Chain A
Amino acid sequence: MNSPWETVIGLEIHAQLATKSKIFSGASTAYGAEPNTQACAVDLGLPGVLPVLNEEAVRMAVIFGMAIEAHIAPYSVFARKNYFYPDLPKGYQISQMELPIVGIGHLDIDVDGVTKRIGITRAHLEEDAGKSLHENFHGLTGIDLNRAGTPLLEIVSEPEMSSAKEAVAYMRKMHELVRYLGICDGNMQEGSFRCDANVSVRPKGQKEFGTRAEIKNINSFKFVEKAINHEVERQIELIESGGRVVQETRLYDSVKDETRSMRSKEEANDYRYFPDPDLLPVLIDEDFKALIKARLPELPQAKKQRFKEQYELDDENATLLTSSRALADYFELVVKEAASPAKICANWVTGELLAALNKAGLEITDSPVSHERLAGLLKRISDDTISGKIAKQVFEALWLGTATADEIIEDQGLKQITDTGAIEAIIDRIMADNMGQVEQYRSGKDKVFGFFVGQVMKEMQGKANPGEVNKMLKAKLK
C-alpha cells in the first residue's frame, strides 16, 4: 500500500462493570428483565432521591487501573453532565470529568507479529442511561429504565492507532483484559462492551492531526474494522476531491455498511459539567490499593510468559491457552489432574477440545467435558492403556455422554493389547498368508514393514500396543 495518507485512530471503550447492583442505587443490573422492573426510585430520578456510590464499582475501576499500570487518583470527583433526553431520567448523567479515577496507562497489542504499546489517557466511572424503544408504540416512544444507572468504565485511548487492524487488536485485547479481571462480562450483543472511534487522516509525515470524526456506539469487532475503513476512505475521498472534513459525530450503519452524520460540532451540546454536590470525592489510599493489588489476578501477558516457561509451550499454544482466564484455568487443572506431559495436555485442549467447542458454539465454561474427565483420558494415553488414535474415539464418547474415560474404555473394550502371545499369533498368521511380502522384506525391501504393521493393527482393531508390534515384527521377519 502506497497511500500518501496516514490514519490516526483513538478509541473510547465503554465497559459495563459486572457489579450486582447499580452504581448509585441498590437495583439489580441483571440483563433482560421486563422493562422498568429494575429501576428503583433513584434510577427513575424521582424528586428528592440521592445517589450513593457502589464501592464495588470503585474497586473494579482500581483493578483495571492497576492492570494497565496506570496512576490511580487518590482523589477523584463525580461530575454532572447535563443534557436532556427521555431515557436520561435526571436530565444529567453522573460521570467524571476533570478528576477521573484512573489516569495515564497503557496496553500492548500484537499486530502481524509486532508488539505496539498503545497509551491510555484515562478511565472514568459513570452511569449508563436507559433505552428508548421506538418500535411497537404506535408512533410514540417507550422508555425502559432498567439499564439506567448501570456502572460503566469509559476507557479513553491516546490517538495512537494507525489502522483499523490495530484498532481491532486493541479492542480485542481490552475485551480480553476486562474479562480476565472479572470486571466486565464482555457481552457485546447486550451492549456490555462497546466503543466510539475517533478517526482522522493526514498526509504522511505531517505532524498535526487532521480533523476527526467520532463514530458512535460500535458493538462488534467486525463493525469496528468496517466502520473505520469506511470512514478513512470517506475522508480521503472527500479531501482528494477538494472537500474538507468537519468535526462531527457519525453513526455506523451496519446494514448499509456506511457511516453517516449525527450532529456537527456546532450543534454539539454544551454539557455544563460541574462537580456533583450529592456525592463526596472518592478518596483512595495506599491501604485500599494494597488490598486490591493482593487480589489482582495474574494478567494475560504474565500468564503467557509463565506458560511458556513452566509448561514449555510454544508461543502459539501459550497465546491460545491464555486468551481467556477460564481456558487457562481449565488447562492448568487438566495438567495437575492428568499427571501427563503438559505439551500433550496443551495439544488436547487446543486441539480436540477447542475444535469441538467451536463447532458447538460453546465457551470453555460450558464444556460438556470437565477438566477431570479430560484428565482421565490423558492418563490412559500416558500409561499406554490406549493409543492416541483410540483416545480420539474415547473423547467423542466423553463429549456425548457422562461416563469417565475408564468406563468408556472398559465398556467398549478399547484397552490396548500388550499380551505378546495374542500379538504373536496374529503376526504368525499374517506372515503365513503373505509369504510374498515376507520374501520381499527379507530381500531388503524395508518399505514392506509398514504393510505388516498396518495389517496387524487392522486385525487387532487398533488396540495393539504399536511399540510391541514393531518390536515383535522386526524379530519375526529377520
Chain B
Amino acid sequence: MYNKSIAELAKGLRSGQFSSVELTTAFLDRIKQHTALNAYITVTEDLALQAAKAADIRLTKGDAELLTGIPMAQKDIFCTEGVKTSCGSKMLDNFIAPYNATVVDKFNSAGAVMLGKLNMDEFAMGSSNETSYYGPVKNPWAINNVPGGSSGGSAAAIAARLAVCATGTDTGGSIRQPAALCGITGLKPTYGRVSRYGMIAYASSLDQGGPMTRSAEDAAIMLQTMAGFDPKDSTSVDLPIPDYSAGLNNSLEGLKIGLPKEFFGEGLNADVAATLEAAINEYLKLGAKITEISMPSLKLAIPAYYVIAPAECSANLSRFDGVRFGYRCENPVDLADLYTRSRGEGFGKEVKRRILMGTYALSAGYYDAYYIKAQKIRRLISDDFNNALAEVDVIMGPVTPSTAFGIGEKIGNPIEMYLSDIYTIAINLAGLPAMSVPAGFAKALPVGLQIIGNYFSEDKLLNIAHQYQQVTDWHTQTPKGFE
C-alpha cells in the first residue's frame, strides 16, 4: 500500500479495496514507527481521520477527485488554519495559523488528507535541515546523513513512505536538493505558477512552492492541484494551466538537451558525474540529442543569491518582533529590550546570519555595490538561460555536487554549506522551472538529475522525467528498513 502511486491508490479507493480511513490509519501508524527520522514537526491525527472520513463519503457519492482521500503532508512553512505553523523556528513554536495558505486550501478542497506538518530548516534557510529548531531530519538512506534542505522533512517522509506526497518550497534549491539526496522526485515550478499566499516568506522574489513525490506521474497530479493564478498573490501569473498528465507519454524523439560545461567541471564529485553520464545515455536511447553549451555567468549565481535572498529576508523577517504573535522574551524592560531579546532568543544562528548579511547589503553606502550589482548579475544569469533555451529544449545537469553528507559535517562552515546549492540557485534567480529526478546511486546514496526547462514548461519537464522513469526504476527503490 505504501509503495503505490496516487493513481493506483485512487483506483483502490474507488474499487473499495481499502478506504481512506484505512489508508490514513496505515500511514499514521507508520509515522509513529519512524519518529526517529524526525520528519514531522506536527502530526495532525484527528484532523487527518476527520478528513479521511469526509473523503470516504465523497468517494461513495462519486464526486471525488484524484487526490481525494490520499494521505499527504505539508511543509511547515504553509499556514494551516488551527494548526501550529512553526516554519522550523522557535519564533513560531507557539503560532497557530488563523488562516490557510492558498495551496493548503486547494489540497483541502481536492479532498486530500493532511497527515501533518513536515520538518524543515528554520525559515527555509539551510541545505541540510540542521537549522531546524526541532532538530535535524535523518536521511532514510543513511541515518547519519542529512536529507538536504530546506524541505528535508518532505523529502525524507516521501523516501521513507511516511506520506504519499508532500509539498515543498524552493528558494535556492530547497525542493530539488533534498529530493536528490533522498532519491525522490521534486519539481520547482516557474516563479509565479503556484501561489505564495500563506507560504511564510523567506526571499519573496525567489520562493516557489512545488510538489515532492516518488514519481513524475504523481508530481503531475499534485501540480495540477497546486498551480494557478491567485488574486491574493500579485506575483502569481494568470496563464492557462495545462493538463500536466496528458503529455506524460509523449515521445522524446529529437529532444535537444543542453549540457552546460560549467555544470560538469571542478567541484562535481566523480561518482555523481559518472551516474549522471549513465542517466544522460538513457536519454540518448530515448531519441534525445546532446549539445554542449556554456553559461559563463553561472559562477556568479551564489554571490548574487547571497545578497538578494538575505536582503529580502531581512525585511520579510522584521514582522517577527514579539509584538503581535510568535515568541516574546520574558519581562522586557522596554521596547528595545523587547525587540532585541525576542529576536535574539527566537531566531537561530543561520537566520540571524542572513538577516545581518541582508541588512548590511541594503545599508546606505553599500546598496549600490551589493544589492544593485546583484540584481544586474541576476539579469545576466537570466539572459544566459534565455540564450541557451533558444538553442535547446531543456538543460540537464547535477542537482548537487555530492551525495548526502554527514550530519554535522558542514554546519560549522556556512560557505561550504552554501556551495551545496551551486547547481540549483541560478535557476531561482532566473525564475525557471526545474526538476530533480532520481538517477541512480553513488556509493549506495541517491543521485539526482536536474532538468531545467523554459518558463511555464512544467508539462514538458514532467514528460521528460516520466519517460526516463518508464525505462529506469531508481524512483521506485525504497531505503532499507522502510520497505
Contact = CB atoms under 8 A, between A and B. Distances in A.
B327 to A, nearest CB: 12
A245 B145 CA distance: 64
Nearest to B325: A46
Contacts of A277: 203-205, 235, 312
Nearest to A41: B99
A86 B335 contact: yes
Nearest to A86: B323
B106 interface: no
Given A47-B85, A47-B97, A274 B324 contact: no
Contacts of A91: 315, 317-319, 321
Interface in B240-279: none
A270 B364 contact: yes
A89 B198 contact: no
Contacts of B200: 47-48
Given A52-B232, A84-B321, A143-B323, A274 B339 contact: no
Contact of B339 (A48, A84, A90, A279): A84
A279 B234 contact: yes
Contacts of B201: 47-48, 278
Contacts of A80: 315
A277 B202 CA distance: 11
A46 B98 contact: yes
A44 interface: yes
Interface string A42-79: 00111111111100000000000000000000000000
Contacts of A45: 319, 324
A229 interface: no
B362 A274 contact: yes
B371 A274 contact: yes
B315 A92 contact: yes
Contacts of B87: 47
A274 B323 contact: no
A272 B362 contact: yes
Interface in B187-244: 196-201, 203-205, 231-235
B95 A47 contact: yes
B92 interface: yes
Contacts of A50: 196-197, 232-235
Of B232, B233, B315, most buried by chain A (CB within 10 Å of CB) is B315
B150 to A, nearest CB: 16
A65 B234 CA distance: 25
Interface in A239-283: 270, 272-274, 277-280
A82 interface: yes
Contact of B367 (A92, A274, A280): A274
Contacts of B359: 272
Nearest to A271: B364
Contact of A46 (B99, B321, B364): B99
Band of interface residues on B: 35 or more
A18 B396 CA distance: 53
Interface in B57-100: 78-79, 85, 87, 92, 95, 97-99
Band of interface residues on A: 20 to 34
A273 B362 CA distance: 7
Interface in B307-348: 311-312, 314-315, 317-321, 323-326, 335, 339
B363 interface: yes
Nearest to B89: A47
B335 A274 contact: no
Nearest to A85: B335
Nearest to A145: B324
A53 B200 CA distance: 20
B101 interface: yes
A198 B318 CA distance: 30
Given A48-B200, A49-B198, A52-B232, A90 B319 contact: yes
Interface string A353-372: 00000000000000000000
Contacts of A272: 314-315, 359, 362-364, 367
Contact of A48 (B199, B203, B364, B367): B199
Contacts of B311: 274
Nearest to B79: A48
B319 A274 contact: no
A280 B98 contact: no
Of A270, A273, A274, most buried by chain B (CB within 10 Å of CB) is A274
Nearest to A269: B364
Contact of A82 (B197, B231, B339, B362): B362
Nearest to B336: A84
A272 B364 CA distance: 7
B234 A52 contact: yes
Nearest to A53: B234
A22 to B, nearest CB: 14
Interface in B346-360: 359
A91 B367 CA distance: 19
A274 B85 CA distance: 28
Contacts of B204: 277-278
A84 B317 CA distance: 11
A272 B313 CA distance: 13
Contacts of A84: 318, 321, 339
A457 to B, nearest CB: 74
Contacts of A86: 321, 323, 335
Contacts of B335: 86
Of B201, B326, B359, most buried by chain A (CB within 10 Å of CB) is B201
B231 A52 contact: yes
B117 to A, nearest CB: 13
A413 to B, nearest CB: 67
Contacts of B371: 274
A249 to B, nearest CB: 17
B425 to A, nearest CB: 16
Interface string A23-37: 000000000000000
Contacts of B325: 46-47
A84 B362 CA distance: 15
Nearest to A272: B362
Contacts of A41: 98-99
Interface in B160-200: 196-200
Contacts of B232: 50, 52
B315 A44 contact: no
Of A48, A90, A272, A274, most buried by chain B (CB within 10 Å of CB) is A48
Interface in A257-314: 270, 272-274, 277-280
The 9 closest A-B pairs by CB, nearest first: A91-B318, A277-B205, A272-B362, A277-B204, A48-B198, A45-B319, A47-B200, A48-B79, A270-B364
12 contacts: A46-B325, A47-B326, A50-B233, A52-B233, A53-B234, A86-B321, A86-B335, A270-B364, A272-B315, A277-B204, A277-B235, A278-B234
Interface of A: 41, 44-53, 80, 82, 84, 86, 89-92, 143, 270, 272-274, 277-280
Given A48-B199, A279-B234, 4 more contacts: A46-B97, A52-B233, A90-B318, A270-B363
